[in-house]
């Protein structure tokens, strides 16, 4: 079987959730973007409760959200890469991620998936990743964080 070339992308949107998978995702995307000098946009969505106005000042949450983007930016720089950090406030994380991919005309969207289990031990995928997979107009890569005890690369 012949080796297939790695797909090349010109604009990548990376959705960061502040979890342990973020650094792995940034490394993967920066290295994937390098051959074509693809534009990389790292987004972090702060979900705003329906009881608050969408433009509510959520300074306490925004500081931790900004830290997520700062860590991603530093990780990209360490790899001699570059990304544009974007902080978004939205009612629904999945819809905000897809909207940003559409607005940026991304040809790749990368999202992280925390390794979580529901009560009873079943693996839980949540609602954001299925929404993104169903509605994104471009290729989507889902990067699952390692299971507890799984070897970290």
Domains of the chain (ranges, CATH numbers): 11-141 (3.40.50.620)
Residue 149: per-residue pLDDT: 65
- Of 33, 17, 32, the residue nearest 112 (C-alpha): 17
Residue 142: per-residue pLDDT: 94
> What does 61-72 look like in DSSP terms, one character per residue?
HHHHHHHHHHHH
Residue 6: per-residue pLDDT: 61
Residue 27: per-residue pLDDT: 93
Cα–Cα dist 44/27, whole Å: 16
Residue 51: per-residue pLDDT: 72
Residue 124: per-residue pLDDT: 72
Residue 108: per-residue pLDDT: 96
How far is C-alpha 137 from the geometric centre of its chain's CA atoms? 16
Residue 41: per-residue pLDDT: 97
- Give the burial class of 117: count Cβ atoms within 10 A of its Cβ; 0-12 exposed, 13-18 middle, 19 or more buried: exposed
* pTM beyond 0.85: no
Residue 104: per-residue pLDDT: 96
Residue 145: per-residue pLDDT: 80
| pLDDT by 10-residue block (mean), the chain, 153 residues | 68 92 92 91 88 63 82 93 92 95 96 73 80 96 78 54
């Amino acid at each position: 079987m012949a080796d297939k070339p790695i797909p090349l992308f010109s604009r990548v949107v990376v959705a960061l959730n502040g979890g342990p998978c973020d650094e792995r995702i940034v490394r993967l995307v920066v290295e994937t973007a390098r051959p074509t000098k693809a534009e990389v946009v790292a987004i972090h969505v702060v979900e705003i409760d329906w009881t608050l106005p969408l433009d509510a000042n959520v300074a306490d949450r925004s500081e931790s959200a900004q830290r997520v983007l700062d860590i991603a930016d530093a990780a990209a720089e360490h790899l001699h890469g570059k990304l544009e950090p974007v902080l978004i406030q939205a009612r629904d994380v999945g819809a905000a991620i897809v909207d940003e991919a559409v607005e940026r005309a991304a040809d790749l969207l990368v999202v992280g998936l925390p390794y979580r289990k529901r009560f009873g031990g079943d693996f839980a995928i949540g609602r954001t990743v299925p929404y993104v997979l169903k509605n994104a107009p471009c290729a989507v890569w889902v990067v699952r964080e390692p299971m507890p005890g799984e070897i970290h690369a």
